[in-house]
A and B are shown apart, each in its own frame.
Chain A
Amino acid sequence: MTSVLKPKHQRLVLLVLALAALIGAGLLAAWALRNQASYFYVPSDIVATPPAPGQAVRLGGMVEKGSIQTAPDGVTVHFVVGDGKARVPVVFAGIVPDLFVEGSGVVAEGSMGPDGTFVASNLLAKHDEKYMPRELEDMTDEQARATVAETTE
Chain B
Amino acid sequence: MIAELGLAALWLAASLAALQLLAAIIVVRGGGTEGEESMGGLVRPAAVVQGLLCALSFLCLLLAFVRTDLSVALVAENSHSAKPMIFKIAGAWSNHEGSMLLWVTVMGLAGGLIALVERRLPNRTMMATLGAQAFVALGFYAFLLISSNPFERLNPAPAEGNGLNPLLQDVAAAYHPTTLYVGYVGLSVAFSFAVGALLTRQVTPEFARVMRPWVLGAWIFLTLGITAGSYWAYYELGWGGWWFWDPVENASLMPWLAATALLHSASVLAARDALRAWTIMLGVVAFSMSMIGTFLVRSGILTSVHAFAVDPERGNFILALLAIYIGGALTLFALRASTVSEGERFSVLSREGALVINNVALSAILGIVLLGTLYPLVTEAFGVRVSVGPPYFNPVSAIFFFPMLLVLAVGPLLRWRRDSFDRVKLTMIAVLAVPVLVAIAMWAITGIGLLPLLGIALAACVGVGSFMPLRGRSLRRLPLPVWGMVIAHFGIAVALFGASANSAFTVEKLVAAQPGDKTEVGPWTITLAAVTPVAGPNWTALEARLGASYEGDREVEIDPQARNFWAPPQQTTESALLTRWNGQLYAVLGGEAEGGRWQLRLWWKPFVTFIWYGGILIALGGLLALIGRVSVDLKRRSARRTVEARRAVAGEAVA
Q: Mark A residues whose CB is within 8 Å of B.
A: 1-5, 7, 10-11, 14, 17-18, 21-22, 24-26, 28-30, 32-33, 36-40, 56, 58, 70, 72-75, 93-96, 98-99, 122, 127-128, 130-135, 137
Q: Tell me which residues from 356 to 382 in chain B have a Cβ below 8 Å from any Cβ of chain A.
A: 356, 359-361, 363-365, 367-368, 371-372, 375-376, 379
Bound CA span A86–B345, Å = 67
Q: Known: A22-B364, A75-B593. Contact between A1 and B348, CB under 8 A?
A: yes
| Chain B residues with CB below 8 A from A73, complex form | 511-512
Q: Which one of B368, B512, B591 lies within 8 Å of A96 (CB-CB)?
A: B591
| Chain B residues with CB below 8 A from A133, complex form | 303
Bound CA span A14–B309, Å = 45
Contact A37 B512 (CB under 8 A): no
- 18 more contacts with CB within 8 A, not counting A21-B360, A37-B375, A74-B512, are A1-B348, A3-B347, A10-B346, A14-B356, A21-B361, A29-B396, A30-B371, A33-B375, A33-B392, A36-B392, A37-B387, A56-B389, A56-B391, A74-B599, A93-B510, A94-B601, A95-B573, A130-B309
CB distance from A125 to the nearest CB of B (A): 11
| Chain B residues with CB below 8 A from A40, complex form | 385-387
Interface string of B384-409 (1 = CB under 8 A from A): 11111101100110011000000000
Residue of B nearest to A131 (CB): B305
Bound CA span A24–B363, Å = 12
Contact A29 B347 (CB under 8 A): no
Contact B391 A95 (CB under 8 A): no
* Cβ of B566 under 8 Å from chain A: no
Contact A28 B361 (CB under 8 A): no
| Chain B residues with CB below 8 A from A98, complex form | 562, 570-572
Residue of A nearest to B387 (CB): A38
Bound CA span A26–B399, Å = 12
Q: Which one of A2, A5, A29 lies within 8 Å of B421 (CB-CB)?
A: A2
A contacts with B: majority SS: mixed
Report how many A-B pairs have Cβ atoms within 8 Å: 140
Q: Top 9 A-B pairs ranked by shortest CB distance?
A: A74-B512, A95-B590, A74-B593, A40-B385, A98-B571, A25-B364, A36-B392, A37-B386, A134-B303
Interface string of B597-609 (1 = CB under 8 A from A): 1010100000000
CB distance from A7 to the nearest CB of B (A): 5
Q: Which one of B389, B392, B418, B599 lies within 8 Å of A95 (CB-CB)?
A: B599
CB distance from B225 to the nearest CB of A (A): 22
**21 A-B pairs in the complex with CB atoms less than 8 angstroms apart:** A4-B418, A7-B342, A11-B342, A14-B356, A17-B360, A28-B399, A33-B371, A33-B375, A36-B392, A37-B392, A38-B387, A40-B385, A70-B594, A72-B594, A73-B511, A74-B594, A74-B597, A95-B590, A98-B572, A128-B570, A130-B165
CB distance from A111 to the nearest CB of B (A): 11
Q: Known: A37-B386, A127-B570. Contact between A95 and B591, CB under 8 A?
A: yes
Bound CA span A131–B237, Å = 14
Residue of B nearest to A40 (CB): B385
| Chain A residues with CB below 8 A from B305, complex form | 131
Contact B356 A134 (CB under 8 A): no
Contact A7 B345 (CB under 8 A): yes
Q: Which one of A14, A22, A128 lies within 8 Å of B367 (CB-CB)?
A: A22
Bound CA span A137–B307, Å = 14
| Chain A residues with CB below 8 A from B384, complex form | 39
Bound CA span A56–B510, Å = 22
Q: Mark B residues whose CB is within 8 Å of A.
A: 165, 238-239, 302-305, 308-309, 342, 345-349, 356, 359-361, 363-365, 367-368, 371-372, 375-376, 379, 384-389, 391-392, 395-396, 399-400, 418-421, 510-512, 562, 568, 570-573, 588, 590-591, 593-595, 597, 599, 601
Q: Which one of A4, A74, A94, A132 lies within 8 Å of B347 (CB-CB)?
A: A4
Determine which residue in B342, B367, B601 has the highest number of CB atoms from chain A within 10 A of its CB, and name it. Answer: B367
CB distance from A98 to the nearest CB of B (A): 4
| Chain B residues with CB below 8 A from A33, complex form | 371-372, 375, 388, 392
Determine which residue in A24, A74, A96, A132 has the highest number of CB atoms from chain B within 10 A of its CB, and name it. Answer: A74
Bound CA span A137–B388, Å = 19
Contact B303 A131 (CB under 8 A): yes
Bound CA span A130–B165, Å = 9
Determine which residue in A5, A22, A25 has the highest number of CB atoms from chain B within 10 A of its CB, and name it. Answer: A25
Q: Which one of A5, A24, A74, A134 lies within 8 Å of B345 (CB-CB)?
A: A5
CB distance from A25 to the nearest CB of B (A): 4
| Chain B residues with CB below 8 A from A93, complex form | 510
Bound CA span A153–B649, Å = 99
Contact B368 A29 (CB under 8 A): yes
| Chain A residues with CB below 8 A from B360, complex form | 17-18, 21-22
| Chain B residues with CB below 8 A from A128, complex form | 568, 570
Residue of B nearest to A14 (CB): B356
Q: Which one of B388, B399, B597 lies within 8 Å of A36 (CB-CB)?
A: B388
Bound CA span A81–B386, Å = 19
Bound CA span A38–B303, Å = 17
CB distance from A107 to the nearest CB of B (A): 9
Q: Which one of A2, A10, A32, A135 lies within 8 Å of B396 (CB-CB)?
A: A32
CB distance from B4 to the nearest CB of A (A): 29
Q: Which one of B303, B511, B599 lies within 8 Å of A132 (CB-CB)?
A: B303
CB distance from B227 to the nearest CB of A (A): 24
Residue of A nearest to B563 (CB): A98
| Chain A residues with CB below 8 A from B364, complex form | 21-22, 24-25
Contact B588 A95 (CB under 8 A): yes
| Chain A residues with CB below 8 A from B599, complex form | 74-75, 95
Q: Which one of A4, A56, A74 lies within 8 Å of B511 (CB-CB)?
A: A74
| Chain B residues with CB below 8 A from A137, complex form | 303
Bound CA span A25–B107, Å = 33
| Chain B residues with CB below 8 A from A5, complex form | 345, 347
